[in-house]
Copies of this chain bind each other. A is one copy, B any other.
Amino acid sequence: MKIKLIMASASKELYEELYESRMELAQNDVEIVSVQPKQGFGSLESAYDEALTVPYIIQEATLAEKEGFDAVVLDCAADPGLRAIKEKLTIPVVGSGEASYLTAMTVSAKFSIIAVLEQSVRLMEENIQKYGFSSRLASVRSADVPVLDLKNHEAALEAICRTAKKAIEEDGAQSIVLGCTGMKKLCAEVEKELGVPVIEPLSCAVQMAAGLVRMQLKTSKAAYPEPIEKDWLSYINKSYRYDRR
């Protein structure tokens, strides 16, 4: 089966850096293609970043179905555009955040999310509330490492371990979900340090998507009905605009 991973970041450097880790997800019957939106920020760290990038993520997702992919995975823990894409496609669509929470609930009763920035904390708290998982969440804490600084391995490792320890000791977390899909390399090291499962969202999403394809399960159109087709209206180069009074 062919799964298309769509990154939220439009940074070529980040793409190159993470490329090998994406390719390693191709196992058994799973082929992986990793793409980026044609436009976007280097990183997605707020609802604002998300809102501006989502149309380009949807563009790639819509293409995926035509290109013959079996499933789409959103390569970002904030699940940007997840509902819109589930509406638009008929093949399975899995968000990395979504899949990581489901996995955390299988291996523990309460989990914490370690976000990269204070800003994305609220974004993920809102997602957890929206998905109805609040009773299983211990906390969302920020490690205060901007996505693009994750390259500094030592500093990132230290910050994440320190934050996750607080989540375990003060909030009662029994497993840790990383709040960004760019931290796979850190995973094993953090887990060794903490002694509880450390969950990498993108891997969860690929396993979940592959499972759905193998079980021939598709997104429920009763839950996510296909958008009605309609014209796109544009006045960009025209002078028409109402702001009277």
A34 and B84 contact, CB distance less than 8 A: no
The digit string for A208-225, where 1 denotes a CB below 8 A from any CB of B, is 101110110111111111
Known: A107-B219, A242-B36. Contact between A228 and B46, CB under 8 A?
Answer: yes
Residues on B with C-beta less than 8 A from A224 are 47, 108-109, 122
> How many interface residues does A have (CB within 8 Å)?
110
Q: How far is the CA of A33 from the CA of B123 in the complex (A)?
A: 30
Residues on B with C-beta less than 8 A from A146 are 228
B223 and A48 contact, CB distance less than 8 A: no
A212 and B51 contact, CB distance less than 8 A: no
Q: How far is the CA of A207 from the CA of B213 in the complex (A)?
A: 10
Identify the A interface with B (CB < 8 A).
Answer: 4, 10-12, 15, 19, 23, 26-29, 31-36, 38-43, 45-52, 54-55, 58, 81, 83-85, 87-88, 92, 94, 98-99, 102-103, 105-110, 117-119, 122-123, 125-126, 129-136, 146, 168, 173-175, 195-197, 199-200, 203-204, 207-208, 210-212, 214-215, 217-225, 227-228, 230-236, 240-245
